[in-house]
């Protein structure tokens, strides 16, 4: 019964999302998204990170689809922040790798630290030491509501900020079309509890709105959050108005 409710609630959320416009980022930054996708397809390092994430299986609703979206958008954010050229390609590739690997230890306590350590073990020796350090730093500092450590330099800070912002873009529409239901299924939570405790549950989402770290994130992140919350509000109103059909 729980699984069937999750399926119904997810389908309802996706129906609502399809009736709304997508976040502005996807229209205004389509070229940067295409750049990141092409770079990902051409990079052996990204292919390795992608494979490692697939092999991990993900945890608590943060599997490959989540990692893929974060990776491509983190790479796109780097391109938004920089002029094109070899240095942009290098840092965008780092952001892509960090994106695929950032939740590779999602099921563990202090998953950002555990994931950073594991990612470092995976990529050490496969790439330049400076790039490895950038990726590990970004993963270690991507968790919400924790003070990020100061970056050693602008390049490290950019990749770290891009990863954080792309990950927090997921707190927008994706949260209601995918993440919350994936987590409910993984944790065997009755989705009725999510409906009942909605107002309390979205406080963190509202608070994340002011935490974006890059100029690109600050420009587009609040739009992701606002659109996600609108989907959530419409979903909860519809479900609460028709709870008898889900009993």
Average pLDDT, the chain: 92
Q: Which residues contact 143 (CB under 8 A, 6 or more apart)?
A: 111, 112
Domain that holds residue 44: 2-246
- CATH number for the domain that contains residue 120: 1.10.3210.10
Instruction: Give the pLDDT band (50/70/90) at residue 235.
Output: very high
Distance (Å, rounded) from C-alpha 176 to C-alpha 180? Answer: 6
- pLDDT tens-place string over residues 158-176: 999 999 999 999 999 999 9
Average pLDDT over residues 206-216: 96
User: Could you tell me the pTM of the whole model?
Assistant: 0.94
Q: Which residues contact 230 (CB under 8 A, 6 or more apart)?
A: 20
**Highest-confidence range of 59-73, 130-144, 176-190, 231-245, by mean pLDDT?**
130-144
- pLDDT tens-place string over residues 59-117: 666 788 999 999 999 999 999 999 999 999 999 999 999 999 999 988 778 888 999 99
pLDDT over 70 (residue 243): no
Q: How many domains does the chain have?
A: 1
Beta-bridge mates of residue 127: 124
- CA nearest to 133, candidates 169, 97, 165, 178: 97
């Amino acid at each position: 019964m729980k699984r069937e409710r999750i399926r119904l609630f997810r389908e309802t959320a996706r129906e609502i999302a399809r009736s709304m416009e997508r976040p502005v980022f996807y229209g205004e930054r389509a070229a940067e998204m295409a750049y990141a996708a092409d770079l990902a397809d051409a990079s052996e390092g990204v292919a390795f990170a992608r494979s490692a994430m697939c092999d991990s299986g993900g945890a608590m609703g943060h599997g490959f689809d989540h990692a893929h979206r974060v990776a491509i958008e983190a790479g796109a954010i780097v391109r938004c922040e920089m002029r094109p050229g070899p240095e942009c390609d290098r840092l965008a590739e780092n952001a892509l790798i960090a994106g695929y690997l950032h939740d590779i230890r999602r099921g563990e306590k202090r998953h950002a630290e555990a994931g950073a350590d594991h990612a470092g073990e995976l990529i050490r020796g496969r790439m330049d030491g400076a790039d490895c350090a950038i990726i590990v730093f970004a993963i270690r500092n991507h968790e919400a509501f924790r003070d990020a450590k100061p970056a050693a330099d602008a390049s490290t800070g950019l990749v770290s900020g891009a990863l954080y912002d792309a990950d927090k873009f997921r707190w927008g529409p994706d949260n209601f079309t995918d993440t919350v239901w994936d987590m409910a299924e993984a944790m065997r939570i009755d989705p009725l509890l999510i409906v009942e405790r909605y107002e309390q549950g979205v406080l963190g989402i509202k608070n994340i709105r002011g935490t974006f770290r890059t100029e690109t994130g600050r420009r587009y992140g609040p739009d992701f959050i606002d659109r996600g919350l609108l989907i959530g509000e419409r979903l909860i109103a519809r479900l609460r108005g028709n709870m008898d059909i889900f009993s």
